[in-house]
């Protein structure tokens, strides 16, 4: 077999191998688009400006950082699960961690799109997790729903059942921990086939203890969505609807390189024939 044929066969095998490789995941929501209604949607089709409706962020945004989409926030939870064998100590440590590395801030002061300050902007858990840096001391800025989604993903990664709370003008989290002795309320969610044992997680204040339900919500009047039983599954929407999505950018580049190499080989072969 000639050297030229060997090179061609090798390059074709490289293309075949790359076509079988799984895509590399990054932060789940990688792009945002403004729609006709004026709201911003991420590449999963979730409205980051409004909580309700079929495209609202509550509770659908939780699914962007769990299961097949899990990334940094979930891995933080896994680290807590390894570090703390006692489940109560683990639960307390997670809340303290989130309270330490986040600070409350208004969306309009921190999020601008196309030059317009966003009165409402929800972040998913991985966006929050990437925003703080324990080495430099930088904390992530967010409001109640941002902290609830971050807590939810970390707690699930640490082995807890969690539920996102949709309360009037507020978002929080519940975890299933009936044995925890220091809660002021133990909640019973309908249709979960359990008795009372859900406790409140309030990360919006640095001194809020685990299990403390704020007085505004201790009479109920809110809805909770267990994260593990959400019917919505976040799947990214292709950024370019005209693209088949069959080939990755790296594979496209390799094909161009193969074409160039092949052209050079043909040119050399023609020169030798002369």
Pick the CATH number of 32-229 from 2.60.40, 3.10.620, 3.30.460, 1.10.1060: 3.10.620
Length of the chain measured in residues: 274
Nearest in space to 129 (alpha carbons), one of 91, 165, 157: 157
Report the percent of the chain where pLDDT is more than 70: 73
Query: How many Å apart are CA 81 and CA 86, to the nearest integer?
Result: 9
| Cβ-based burial of 243 (10 A; exposed 0-12, middle 13-18, buried ≥19) | exposed
Residue with tokens 């989409």: 69
Q: Is 125 helix (H, G, I), strand (E, B) or coil?
A: helix
Nearest in space to 198 (alpha carbons), one of 215, 214, 180, 216: 180
* pLDDT confidence bin for 7, thresholds 50/70/90: low
Per-domain boundaries in the chain? 32-229, 246-274
Give the pLDDT confidence score for residue 173 in this predicted structure.
Answer: 98
Cα dihedral angle (111, 115, 118, 122), rounded to 10 degrees?
Answer: -50
Question: Is the pLDDT reported for residue 17 higher than 60?
Answer: no
Distances (CA, A) of 99 to 93, 94, 207, 271: 10, 9, 8, 71
Higher pLDDT, 74 or 27: 74
Mean pLDDT of 5-14: 54
E-only strand ranges, the chain: 32-34, 40-42, 102-104, 112-113, 116-117, 140-142, 162-167, 170-176, 198-201, 223-226
Question: Is the pLDDT reported for residue 27 higher than 80?
Answer: no
Question: Is the pLDDT reported for residue 63 higher than 70?
Answer: yes
* pLDDT confidence bin for 111, thresholds 50/70/90: very high
- As a whole number, the mean pLDDT across the chain is 83
Backbone angles phi, psi at 55, to 5 degrees: -110, 10
């Amino acid at each position: 077999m000639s050297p030229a044929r060997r090179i061609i066969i090798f390059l074709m095998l490289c293309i075949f191998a790359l076509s079988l490789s799984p895509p590399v995941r990054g932060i789940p929501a990688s792009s945002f688009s403004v729609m006709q209604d004026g709201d911003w949607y991420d590449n999963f089709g979730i409205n980051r400006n409004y909580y309700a409706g079929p495209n609202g962020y509550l509770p659908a945004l939780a699914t962007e950082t769990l299961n097949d989409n899990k990334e940094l926030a979930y891995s933080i939870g896994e680290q807590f699960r390894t570090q703390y064998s006692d489940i109560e100590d683990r639960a307390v440590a997670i809340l303290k961690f989130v309270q330490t590395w986040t600070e409350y801030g208004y969306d309009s002061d921190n999020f601008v799109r196309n030059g317009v300050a966003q009165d409402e902007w929800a972040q998913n858990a991985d966006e929050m997790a990437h925003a703080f840096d324990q080495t430099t001391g930088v904390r992530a800025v967010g409001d109640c729903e941002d902290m609830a989604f971050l807590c939810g993903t970390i707690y699930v990664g640490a082995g807890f059942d969690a539920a996102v709370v949709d309360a009037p003008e507020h978002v929080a989290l519940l975890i299933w921990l009936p044995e925890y002795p220091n809660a002021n309320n133990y909640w019973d969610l309908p249709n979960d086939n359990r008795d009372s044992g859900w406790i409140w997680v309030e990360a919006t204040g640095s001194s809020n203890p685990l299990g403390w339900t704020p007085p505004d919500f201790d009479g109920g009047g809110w809805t909770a969505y267990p994260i593990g039983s959400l019917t919505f599954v976040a799947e990214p929407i292709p950024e370019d609807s005209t693209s088949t999505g069959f080939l990755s950018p790296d594979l496209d580049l390799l094909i161009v390189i193969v074409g160039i190499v092949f052209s050079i080989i043909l040119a050399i072969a023609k020169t030798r024939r002369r």
